[in-house]
Structures are given as structure tokens and as C-alpha cells.
Structure 1
Amino acid sequence: MTTATSITVSRRIDASSTAVFDVLSNPQRHTELDGSGFVVSDEKTDRITGTGQVFRMNMTGDHMGGDYQTDNTVTGYDPQHLLAWKTAPADTEAPGWEWIWELQAQGSDATEVRLTYDWSKVTDQDLLDKVGFPLVSETQLQHSLGNLASAVSG
């Protein structure tokens, strides 16, 4: 589902919500999940354990002139149910876009996963013009869900 300021995709994954959350809460595995091609590596971050935690990622993309880093502040954390974070260029305040992963167990061995990319809180018009939201497409988000399915089954 795409709106003017967000994209949401969903997929049933044949793995428990515990297994899915285990992969999502480990920033070292985010390179495996990324369907956009922007995530290069984790910058030695510990497992995500609660809101307010910040994890740093090494990124690349023409939209930022090549290699860069992001700081990701966890805004939602509910084990086996929710993991969300706001992303910002390293050492800056988050300008308002957020990644939201919602998990709903479908029995003990399957999980419905919803991934939302939401830029509704971005108010800086220069940034909106520069980045050209959405920077990540619905297809790329679907690829992220496919990558997650592969990561939990492998």
C-alpha cells in the first residue's frame, strides 16, 4: 500500500516471530535484508534491545554522493511484535523518516511481516526536494521481505 508519505508491504514468512525478530534486531544482519542496495555494513553495533538505542550503519548511494553513515534511533521495540527506527545522517538529528517492522505470529512456525517506510514527518522542504521521497521503492521493500524470508530459513 502506497500513500503520499509512506509505503507498506507485507508478506507471510515461514518462520516463528521469535526467529524473525532475532534477525531484525541484529544490525549485523541488515545488509542481508536490504532490498535497496544502500546498506553496506553495520558499524560494530550491539543487538537492538530497546527504544532510544542508536545503531550506526555504513551506507552508499548517489543520493548522498557516495559512501556515508547513518545513525538509527530505535523508536519502537516490542519483542516478536515491533521494531522501528528513525534514520539520520551520522551525528545529526533525525529529519523525520522511519522504518517500521510489525510482526504477527501465524501459529508457531509462520509470521505475517509488515514493513513500512514512512516519511510523513519530514518537514524540511530542501531535504524533500534533494532526496526525492520515496528514496526506496515498493519493489525494493518487497525485496527486503524476500531477503528476510531467506535469512530466517538459512
Structure 2
Amino acid sequence: MTETSITASRTIDAPADAIFTLLSNPAHHAALDGSGMVQSDDKSDRITAVGQKFTMNQHWEKMGGDYQTDNHVVGYDPNKLLAWKTAPAGEVPPGWQWVWELQPAGPDSTEVSVTYDWTHVTDKEILKKLSFPEVSVEDLDASLGNLASAVSEK
């Protein structure tokens, strides 16, 4: 953990392309999310390029219960990298992002890292309202465990 990001990593017994196929489809994100906030996607298309936006249905008491987020894709390299900045639906991203990195660790295994980074959050009101990190490293570890389970079922 740095002062403005946390990362969890795990070697998953699956090739990078199989893992990337799951990660790049927002329909799978609720099942992968270890925090319990992501409920479902809002009929989003598969992520295929930087500049895309996908919308997720979320639930978090700190946000008043049910709400939606727009996720702006800022990193895309097939089978290697997927990153997005999250914002309340209809708003400009306030500065936090999610970064998934995949590195082959053998013919059928991949080192997967997920980073929750709030480096670029500068809005003083947001910094007063939220206590970063709002998602724990244990939640990130749980997401990696969910990903490992999901890819083994495919």
C-alpha cells in the first residue's frame, strides 16, 4: 500500500486471455467484486478500447443505498491491462481508478494485480466525505479469489 493506492496480486491458474475475457465483460463484474458494492452492469458492452464508458449498478450505504457509476476506460491492452476511472453516473470522474494488470507466469498461469488508486482525487469535499481507501486490500484479495474461481469454471 502507498499513501494513495492499494494493490493485491495473485497467481491464477489460467492463461491471460481467459482472464481478460472475464474482466473485459462488465456483466461479470458483480460476481468478481470482493467489496459487495457492485450489484450488476447496466447492459454495458464488452470493453474493447480506451475511451469507452460502462455503467454499473451499485449499492453502498455511504452513497445513500442504490446508485449507478459510469466507468471511463483509461487503459486497455488486450490480455495485459484494463483500467477505468469511476464516477457517479453523469459526472466527471473525481480521480480514483481501478487498474488490472496481467503478466504470464507460465503456459497456463497468470500473475494478476488489481490496484485501487486515488492519487488524483483533489476535490476537498470528496476528501472530507470519503476516507480513502474505501475498499480494503482484503476486498481486492477477495476479488482476485472470485476471479480465480470464475475462470476455473469456464
TM range (shorter): over 0.9
RMSD: 0.5
Taking the TM superposition and a 5 Å limit, the aligned residue runs for 1:1-154 are: 2-154=1-153
Q: Where do 4+ consecutive residues of structure 1 move more than 2 Å?
A: none
Unaligned runs of 5+ in 1: none
Worse-matched range after superposition: 85-94 or 102-111? 102-111
**1:5-31 Cα deviation digits (max 9, x unpaired):** 000110000000000000000000001
Worse-matched range after superposition: 125-134 or 138-147? 125-134
Count of aligned pairs between the two proteins: 153
**1:84-143 Cα deviation digits (max 9, x unpaired):** 000000000000000000000112210000110000000011101212111100101100
For the residues of structure 1 that align with 2:62 and 2:128, how far apart are their CA atoms? 11
Corresponding residue SS for 1:132: coil
For the residues of structure 2 that align with 1:12 and 1:129, how far apart are their CA atoms? 36
TM normalised by structure 2 equals 0.98
For the residues of structure 2 that align with 1:102 and 1:72, how far apart are their CA atoms? 17
Corresponding residue SS for 1:147: helix
TM normalised by structure 1 equals 0.98
Query: How far off is 1:75 after superposition?
Result: 0.3
Amino acid in structure 1 at the alignment position of 2:31: E
